[in-house]
Amino acid sequence: MVQEKDQTKDQTKTQAANTNKSEQVSKEEKPNELPLDGIRVVDVGTFIAGPYASTIMGEFGAEVYHVEHPRAGDPFRRLGTPTDRNGDTLAWLSEARNKKSVTIDLRVPKGAELFKNLVSKADVCVESFRPGTLESWGLGWKELSEANPGLVMLRVTGYGQTGPYKNHAGFAHLAHAFGGLSYLSGFPGQTPVIPSPSPLGDYMSGLYGAIGVLMALRYKELTGEGQYIDLGGYEAVFRQLDEMASAYGMFGKIREREGSGTVIAVPHGHFQTKDGKWVAIACTNDKMFARLVEDAMSRPELAAENLYGLKANRLARRDEVDALVNEWTGSLTRNQLMEKCLAAQVPIGSLNSIADIFADPHFQARDDLVHLTEDIVGEVVIPGVFPKLSETPGRVTSLGPALGKHTDEVLAEILGLSSSELAQLHQNKVI
């Protein structure tokens, strides 16, 4: 027993020594290393949800091949503001950043064979077709995992791979509705509004997809085994509804539209300023409200317990409280309000338009806006890379590529195709 304990101690010491050695490796010995360096991703998704997951991976070092139809391309190329580069939109240039465009017609046998061979040499495959589409081309999970047992496959659809709605079309607007978010958006008694003109649900799905891939890659690292991730876009939306499922399950409580405020706190909403701008103020407890009325508004009498000092009283007299705050914010400019509330430690933020964001020094200081130049389009400004890692921050090296720009390069380098083979594939319109 003593000998076994000594051996265990020795093993522990060796492991600790190895850990210390690895920690002592200097940055100079690992130039430009990013967390996902060496990870190869084949992205055959369209629009945003699936491809956004691969975009995130590409920002942190993964090599991403975006597979598109040779003639039609990803329809996302036409969504948004068109540019002079064959109509590719600004949305495409931004969201297809860091990717290589490879054109393959998956519907023909030779194209399916090329795709399977490419996936066999990848770590991750991302797809967002309706359930059964890849299977109809002989490229489902069964076939791809047989070609690559360690494959991690992200499958993002509107409603998931199972369930009675699995074949329904899925878009962010529908995910907002079905997932419960749109019902909550707008003012009481009025038509529910779209939560955001941007496809918020697609971006949330992409984030959950990227998280799923990273967890699956960790499992593969430990076991050598691949797996697929099944994500319905509505699920990414539904997961954001805090306690609503619990409140309905326990009390039958249905949360309704609350306008620009919330039923759980007041003042907690959007307030217009003297110069026609808007601010968000969030006083979620009595101390915050006291700081607002005493220090920022110079109305300490409003904090009396028999008036508005207690949360219960404020909630019961919501309209009165909001009216008082609205009157005050309407007497000052946004900059004046920000100064007073920040000095009083009252939670406040400006409601920024994109013009406000471009002018804001905080966005600039954190490199939240990246300026890149494209040969035909010129300078394009895109959102930066998030989150910010201290030792291996992500980066953007290129904007969304022209259709098929990297087809020959990738198929030659990865699959070893000769120039004559590539020429034949082009002639047959496979690529």
Distance CA(431)–CA(429), nearest Å, equals 5
% of the chain exceeding 90 in pLDDT: 91
Please compute the mean of the pLDDT values over residues 388-414 and round it to a whole number. Answer: 97
Residue 367 contacts residue 360 (beta carbons within 8 Å): no
For the stretch 244-248, contacts whose Cβ atoms lie closer than 8 Å and that sit 24 or more positions apart, written own/partner, are 244/180
Quote the strand ranges of 5-79, DSSP E. 40-43, 63-68
Residue 202 annotated to the active site: yes
pLDDT at 26 > cutoff 60: no
**Residue 289 dihedral angles phi and psi, to the nearest 5°:** -65, -40
Distance CA(197)–CA(218), nearest Å, equals 35
- Whether the pTM exceeds 0.85: the reply is yes
**∠ CA 283-285-288, rounded to 5°:** 55
Neighbouring residues of 217: CB distance < 8 A, sequence distance ≥ 6? 39, 123, 124, 152
Q: What's the confidence (pLDDT) of residue 263?
A: 85
pLDDT at 27 > cutoff 70: no
Sequence-ordered alpha helix ranges (H) in 24-159: 49-59, 90-95, 109-120, 133-136, 141-147
Q: What's the confidence (pLDDT) of residue 33?
A: 86
H/E stretch holding 373 reads strand 369-374
| Tens digit of each residue's pLDDT (9 = 90 or more) over 68-98 | 999 999 999 999 999 999 999 999 999 999 9
pLDDT at 12 > cutoff 70: no
Judged by phi (left if over 0) then psi (alpha if -120 to 50, else beta), residue 56 lies in alpha
pLDDT at 41 > cutoff 90: yes
Q: What's the confidence (pLDDT) of residue 30?
A: 54
Q: Could you give the 3-state DSSP secondary structure of residue 71? A: coil
pLDDT at 32 > cutoff 90: no
Which of 43, 74, 105, 202 is the catalytic position? 202
pLDDT at 6 > cutoff 50: no
Please compute the mean of the pLDDT values over residues 321-330 and round it to a whole number. Answer: 96
pLDDT at 1 > cutoff 60: no
Distance CA(9)–CA(11), nearest Å, equals 5
Mean pLDDT across the chain: 92
Domains assigned to the chain: 40-240+380-427 (3.40.50.10540), 268-272+278-350 (3.30.1540.10)
Please compute the mean of the pLDDT values over residues 109-124 and round it to a whole number. Answer: 98
Q: What's the confidence (pLDDT) of residue 422?
A: 97
What is the number of helices (H) and of strands (E) in the chain?
A: 18, 11
